[in-house]
Structure 1
Amino acid sequence: MDELSKPLLLLVDDDETFRQVLQRAMSRRGYDVIAADSVDAGVQLAKANPPEFAVVDLRMPGASGLELVKALHELDDQTRIVVLTGYASIATAVEAIKLGAVHYLAKPATADEIITAFGRIEGQTGLEVPEDPMSVDRLEWEHIHKVLQEHEGNISATARALKMHRRTLQRKLAKYPVRA
């Protein structure tokens, strides 16, 4: 397969090791991969050469990966975007899909899982609905992230809306998501 017939994939993740490993894996699977470590760098690459596929990390220094999803979708609404995150929440998953992502995967995701996600066109009606409700800790975590999303990532505004001290909110946000 020559370089001109390979689909272009934009990979944006601030974790250098993960980015390099995934870049090699996707290249071996037939993609021409361009990579960036921030939303701004990803937007510049996409403007110069619009990708057919994109893998976007949700949480990076500076702007959120959701900003990049929105920008990529505005550049070309046919770009197949998969969002990856180690901080999965219902609120961010819903926002990513609303902004134009085709799928949302929790890290660590393999190259094959990402390629499968690119091909997903419809939802899965056969997905099992959990019997047990979410734990109180998980509900709190989900609510905090929903309010944070509503306030566009502004910690101070989110703390005021939750009637919580800013430092308490920052401590809660620094924790990894709790299990359901």
Structure 2
Amino acid sequence: MDIISSEKAVESLEGIRQRTTQIVHSLSHFLAILHQTEQLAPWPTIHKNFNILLSQIHSLSNTLAIHFQSLRTTNIFPSEEFPVREQEPLLTTLLRTRPLPVVEEWETTTLEEYENDPSLKSKNQKQPLPQDTLWEEARDLLMQEREQNNWTGYVTRQEELQGEIINQKELEKERAFEEQSAQQTLTKILGFMKSGRG
């Protein structure tokens, strides 16, 4: 229940944000029309833009009235009781979008040290790095496993080479019968769970 109300509050806040953005754009456009030339713009243009602005403000006030209760109960941070003056460092830390300069400097120096570390570089660029060697070994192992198995049929490559399975159609019939018997077993189990009888 609480999740639904918080989703409604977020939706109403988004709607209000969009309407205020529209009002800001309309105001800036209206001011640009008023200040574009030395003489005043034609009366119909001013009237049209003023009506647009009024309708957007009316729409915003209606939206605020509709979502008044959900917005009133929504908790925002920092709230009105938050001691802004006393907790200013905490507030600036919470509202910060970039890392602190000290942290940013620490990250760049660590990255530079990592890039300049001679143990990670190969000698004379002839030997591969340890992680490159690991990836090469993993790729080789994958290719070996890929060659050993048949990934498209019902039999393995080894069975195929040894000729253990001769007829593909018989194998398909066996698999279909196994699946059907598994389905029947599952149906019996579900029937027992539902009715309590075997």
Q: Is TM more than 0.5 here? A: no
Asked which structure has the greater CA Rg, the reply is 2
**Bigger strand share:** 1
TM range (shorter): under 0.3
If asked which structure has higher relative contact order (CA below 8 Å, sep 6+), I would say: 1
